[in-house]
Structure 1
Amino acid sequence: MYGSHPPAPGTAQGTSLDPSDAALIAQSRDDPECFAVIFDRYFAEIHRYVSSRLGTGPADDVAAETFLAAFSQRHRYDTARAQARAWLYGIATNLVRRHRRTEVRAYRALERTPAEADSGGHADRVADRVSAQRMQPRLAAALAGLSAGDRDVLLLVAYGELSYDEVALALGIPAGTVGSRLNRARRHLRRVLGHDPLASGGTE
């Protein structure tokens, strides 16, 4: 329905969107095929985000469901917001919440897995540091110990690379709450790990 092949990673970021997401979503209300462009722009990064939290197994289905839900909700989209990125991350996060047990089980399984040598060095992106596919066992354990709300904020910032305002929009909470949840989550990581792996130059 929305195209057979996801775009290369990073397609939606760092590029000028013309026409805007809002314009495409508005057009799709009368011409549903226009929504395919939204899928092409964002599927790859939404899939990576879901995969980082649930693993590759459920990611295909949950990412696809994200865009089906967005399509069904397009008539309610606030077209004053030119970019749909935060909206899509919010839908994806709501769907991830249905798999909380799967997510925590994945972290607990990683916690029991022997750590592999880190070959990436300090230049690795922060997203790689919290990826379920490359996560160190102690970090997995620390994430499993977070509340659902704090983990959502932490991973939207660290993996989705959303701003505080975008996270607030995605989760429907005030920006101040985003800041307090993120600070609480990072304090928890420092307490469990003895350092903050999300800080610049941090290591697992």
Structure 2
Amino acid sequence: MSALDLAELYDTHARDLHYYLARRVGPQTADDLVADAFLAVWEHRDRYDPARASPKAWLYGVATTLLRNHVRREHRRLRAWARESGRAMPVDDFGARVAESADAGILAGQAAAVLAELRSEERDALLLVAWAGLSPSEISAVLDVPVSTVRSRLHRARTRLRTALTVKEDNHA
């Protein structure tokens, strides 16, 4: 990979990578992780094998590896978010817009709690689809696991999320 290739990779994917990482760990940490990911890609450019993964998948693989160093912090942040969302219930009814906003906040907190309880492998696969827009085959290259494993992780994560949110919604009805 040449400097020109790296510049093109940066121009094409840095913003989306930052967006994905920021949703996982916040914008300040995402700034550092994006910089670290591109630095690692440059330093290890001789290890890139185009037959194994696309440049985007390789970049996200490097970033995901770096992100795993922050899993404990992410776990604590999601738990705190879940606790705070439960406290953010509106006192008065200010109309449909306020109710929808409150419901969305509660649902987001419930989703965060479920995300925090997922195995890190399932959470990584789910968020790489939802927030990074990667396909199962790209996630396979990112996580260095077979596509069937990615599909299984996605199925389990989606099922747990759907079940938990349905149960909580039924309890509030």
User: Taking structure 2 as the reference length, what is the TM-score of the superposition?
Assistant: 0.80
> 1:108 and 1:50 mapped to 2: Cα distance?
18
Consecutive unaligned residues in structure 1, runs of 5 or more: 1-24, 120-128, 130-134, 196-204
Which amino acid in 1 is paired with 2:108?
Q
3-state SS, counterpart of residue 84 of structure 2: coil
3-state SS, counterpart of residue 85 of structure 1: helix
Aligned to 1:41: 12
Shift of 1:34: 4.5
Aligned to 1:60: 31
Consecutive unaligned residues in structure 2, runs of 5 or more: 90-97, 168-173
Of 115, 139, 146, the residue aligned with 2:118 is 146
Aligned to 1:105: 76
Of 126, 131, 137, the residue aligned with 1:165 is 137
Aligned to 1:94: 65
Aligned to 1:15: none
Of 38, 43, 47, the residue aligned with 1:76 is 47
Aligned to 2:146: 174
Whose Rg is larger? Answer: 2
Which amino acid in 2 is paired with 1:157?
V
Preserved contact between residue 139 and residue 150 of structure 2 (Cα < 8 Å): yes
Which amino acid in 2 is paired with 1:137?
G
Preserved contact between residue 82 and residue 110 of structure 2 (Cα < 8 Å): yes
3-state SS, counterpart of residue 173 of structure 1: coil
> 2:26 and 2:58 mapped to 1: Cα distance?
22
Aligned to 1:156: 128
> 1:82 and 1:141 mapped to 2: Cα distance?
33
> 2:5 and 2:55 mapped to 1: Cα distance?
14
> 1:96 and 1:137 mapped to 2: Cα distance?
22
Identify, as 1 or 2, the structure richer in helix: 2
Identify which of structures 1 and 2 has the higher relative contact order when contacts are C-alpha pairs closer than 8 Å and 6+ apart. 2
Is 2:163 aligned against 1:191? yes
